[in-house]
Amino acid sequence: MKHDVYDYIIKGIKEKGALHMALIDQDNFNNSHDVMRTAKIIEDSGVDAIMVGGSSVDREQIDMCIKAIKKGSNLPVIIFPGGVSQISPYADAIYFMTLMNSRSRYWLSLAQALASFSVYKANIEAIPMGYIVMESPVKSSVAFYGDVNGIPPNKPKIAASYALAAQYLGMKVVYLEAGSGAPTPVPDNVIKATKEVLEIPLIVGGGIRDEKTAYQKVKAGADIIVTGNIVENAEKNAELIKRIASAIHKAGGER
């Protein structure tokens, strides 16, 4: 089994203290040129890896997106799948996710069984992930499609218990998600309580739109920060992306 991307992640966390990953939603791009240009801006801004995923079920679209990213950047490309169809041999790795707090057995084990042979045939690295979604006043796509029982922001021990369960089940990373476009990010006390029990990397995303917030979440315990919405217009937000990456690395170095 391949471990190249996971080893890159672990090494990066050891060297920098924390990493910044940018999420490209293939649904928001109509041509490969825009994707390629976005990927170049992301890499030039100091981001450490690129995630790609969205709600689309169009296999050709995700293939196009990943190939364009590869032309514009040398960063590792990790699929962050929104469904079993989003598997491409052009990626370096895929987060093989279990939606830990879903009410649906489909997202707990059936989707993974359906996707397993596609990942195997694509010959890409699978990184097992425990995916945990916070409660939010604005319902995200993952909360809707994933039939999520959202973690209350004032109950950090619940989030920590799901994360610890993911670790005990053998998963290699945990992702605490506020939801795409969330009005507020994952609270610091939830991040802190979760990180205190984990020995594996903790990823935090959703609602992080500036360097101050990114810095704060790393200081609270996040090993990896994911930003998505700001890269949709990467050319306009290039300096902001650069400041966020710098803040993440600065906070990581201070920990």
Element (H, E) at 129: strand 125-133
Which residues does residue 226 pair with via DSSP β-bridges, in sequence order? 21, 205
- As a whole-number percent, the residues of the chain with pLDDT over 90 amount to 81
Contact 197, 160 (CB under 8 A): yes
Please determine, for residue 250, whether its predicted confidence score (pLDDT) is greater than 80.
Answer: yes
Please report the pLDDT score of residue 42 as a whole number.
Answer: 97
Do 99 and 106 form a contact (C-beta atoms < 8 A)?
A: no
Tokens of 45: 């801004």
Nearest CA to 94 out of 135, 49, 138 is that of 49
Alpha carbon of 220 to those of 127, 137, 194, 200, 201: distances in Å?
Answer: 24, 23, 10, 15, 13
DSSP 8-state code for residue 152: P
Q: What is the pLDDT of residues 16-54, one digit of tens each?
A: 999 999 999 888 887 899 999 999 999 999 999 999 987
End-to-end CA distance of the chain: 32
- What superfamily does domain 4-254 belong to in CATH? FMN-linked oxidoreductases (3.20.20.390)
CB-based contact 20:47 (threshold 8 Å): yes
Position 221 pLDDT exceeds 90: yes
Domain ranges of the chain: 4-254
Q: Could you read off the pLDDT of 109-154 as tens digits, one per residue?
A: 999 999 999 999 999 999 999 999 999 888 888 888 889 999 999 9
Contacts of 48 (CB under 8 A, 6+ apart): 12, 16, 19, 20, 21, 75, 245
**pLDDT above 70 for 57:** no
pLDDT of residue 140: 80
The rounded distance, in Å, linking the Cα atoms of 123 and 137 is 39
